[in-house]
Amino acid sequence: MRKINVLFSLILLALPVHAQVSDEVNDPALTSAVSYAPLLLFTNGPGQIVPFQDGEMLVVGQTYHMTAIPKRGYAFAGWRRMNVFNIIEYVEDEFGTMSAVTNIVVSPTLALDPTRVLEFTMQAPDVLFDDPGVRTIIESEGWQANFVPVNRFGEINREP
């Protein structure tokens, strides 16, 4: 029974959260299920992403906007979509204690989107592989804001 509890709680962290929402009248015909998923954000270079935080729960299927803001002396170079793989493996020690080992692998896509304000639609994570109590692999989408240094004239520094 212990093994199932560990698996269930870890998978819940990576999968979308489901909640019931309804209007003030509480009419069952108007009630619908809403899914939430964590937003995964990364920065490459000094800068920030607003208004969201890494790990913030957003409604799946809804469109959002976020802005990359470089620190002084840097310029925004572009957004990169990231594929994030969460690999959870379950290990039992010699005393029978189960523990979960989580590895996160981030794989960037090739294309850069140079628009500072990014519009995106929140996607639900995909369970690629699930062997309960042994291994679970979940793929999620994330975004990386890339920042590069500029010279005193505001031009991007080019390497020789």
Single pTM value for the model: 0.68
Half-sphere exposure of 89 (CA within 13 A, CB side): 5
Chain centre to alpha carbon of residue 56 = 8
The helix or strand, by DSSP H or E, that contains position 9, with its residue range, turns out to be: helix 2-14
Determine the Cα–Cα distance for residues 2 and 134; give it in Å rounded to an integer.
14
User: Among residues 140, 122, 132, which one has the least CA distance to residue 14?
Assistant: 140
* Mean pLDDT, residues 6-33 taken together: 40
pLDDT at 150: 92
Write out the two tokens for 57. Answer: 């729960």
Digit-coded pLDDT (tens) for 123-137: 999 999 999 888 899
Write out the two tokens for 6. Answer: 């560990």
pLDDT at 26: 46
Digit-coded pLDDT (tens) for 96-148: 888 888 888 888 877 778 888 999 999 999 999 999 888 899 999 899 999 99
